[in-house]
Every structure is written in structure tokens, then in C-alpha cells.
């Protein structure tokens, strides 16, 4: 599975197999097509399990490097995490909320939302927001712990990042609520 295109390896393909009306019906049929789709789903799930296991197995070495005396890795890690955190907010806002909602109801493209087939679009966006906020709090907490050991740290920049993160989260929460309202209206109309 790993040698296949990324487009056929992840959760989005698994969602299509499980929730797309035509695909789901073919999963339940007896015959080569149903068996092939079930095998593809099992291969995708197995690949995701392998990736998760490899991350868990690699983490102790990363943690050891971060905790090594005199290492610059903690500062580099926190900086990278902060950059990634801001990217998460941008992705959730721009791709997961703004793109499907459009600027007006007429421009809305609900089928461009991630996980639209399973109906988990807004729940996933909220989960991204919640976990990004928890991640930001963890970065601040870790940086403060590091400061207690090494006064040279720069907590002010991370406090700013946390503030920006909370503002971004508030904006995304408002967009997600609006997306839910649009989805509810679409269900009534459709």
C-alpha cells in the first residue's frame, strides 16, 4: 500500500469506500468487486495502523534527543510546533470552512467539505480547533517549564502565539457554527 499514491492511502479514500452510496452498496455485494473493495479498505486501515505504530516506536528517540543536556532540539521543536499550529488554523479556516461555505449561500459547495459523505465535516473542524488549542496550551506550558530550567528562553513570543491561536480559534468556531446552520438549512431544503 505504501508504494501507491498518497491519494489512495488515507482516511479520505476509506470514507469514500464506506460512505459513498455507490461504493457502499458494492461493498455488500458478493463477487470480485465487493471483495476487492473490502481488501482495499483493509489495506488502507492496515497502512494507517503501520504509520501510527512507526510514530509511536520512533517517539522515544525523538524525546531522548529533545531532553539531551545542551540540546537545541527543544527550542527547535517548539518553534516548529508553533509554526505548524498556525498552519492548522489556516488550513481549517481556508480549506475546511471557507471553501465549502463560499462567500454567499449561492457560492457554497458543501460537497467540497472534508468528510461530507459521512456527515463529519463540522465535527472534524471543531475537533481540529479543540486539539490545536490544547496543543498551543501544551507549547506554552512546556516553554514555561523550560524557562524554569533555563532563563534564556523567550516566553513572550509563545504567549503571542497563544493569543493569536485563541483569536483564530474563536473565528473558526464562529465559522463552524455558521457552517452548521447552512448545513441544517440545506437538509431542510434538500
Distance from C-alpha of 185 to C-alpha of 175, rounded to nearest angstrom: 15
Q: How many degrees, rounded to 5, is the angle at CA 35 between CA 31 and CA 37?
A: 120
Cα torsion through 64, 65, 68, 72, rounded to 10: -150
**57 band by pLDDT with thresholds 50, 70 and 90:** very high
What is the reported pLDDT for 190?
47
Task: Check whether 120 has a pLDDT greater than 80.
Answer: yes
**pTM, two decimal places:** 0.61
**41 band by pLDDT with thresholds 50, 70 and 90:** confident
Residue 2: strand, helix, or coil? coil
Helix or strand (DSSP H, E) at 23: helix 21-27
Mean of pLDDT over the chain: 75
Amino acid at each position: 500500500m505504501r508504494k501507491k499514491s498518497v491519494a489512495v492511502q488515507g482516511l479520505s479514500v476509506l470514507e469514500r469506500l464506506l460512505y459513498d452510496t455507490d461504493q457502499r452498496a458494492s461493498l455488500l455485494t458478493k463477487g470480485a468487486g465487493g471483495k476487492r473493495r473490502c481488501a482495499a479498505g483493509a489495506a488502507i486501515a492496515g497502512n494507517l495502523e503501520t504509520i501510527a505504530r512507526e510514530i509511536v516506536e520512533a517517539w522515544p528517540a525523538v524525546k531522548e534527543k529533545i531532553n539531551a543536556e545542551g540540546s537545541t532540539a527543544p527550542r527547535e521543536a517548539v518553534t516548529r510546533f508553533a509554526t505548524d499550529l498556525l498552519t492548522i488554523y489556516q488550513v481549517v479556516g481556508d480549506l475546511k470552512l471557507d471553501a465549502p461555505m463560499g462567500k454567499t449561500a449561492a457560492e457554497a459547495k458543501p460537497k467540497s467539505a472534508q468528510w461530507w459523505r459521512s456527515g463529519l465535516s463540522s465535527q472534524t473542524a471543531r475537533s481540529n480547533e479543540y486539539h490545536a488549542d490544547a496543543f498551543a496550551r501544551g507549547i506554552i506550558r512546556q516553554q514555561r517549564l523550560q524557562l524554569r530550567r533555563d532563563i534564556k528562553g523567550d516566553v513572550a513570543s509563545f504567549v503571542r502565539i497563544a493569543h493569536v491561536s485563541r483569536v483564530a480559534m474563536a473565528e473558526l468556531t464562529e465559522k463552524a457554527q455558521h457552517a452548521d446552520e447552512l448545513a441544517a438549512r440545506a437538509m431542510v431544503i434538500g
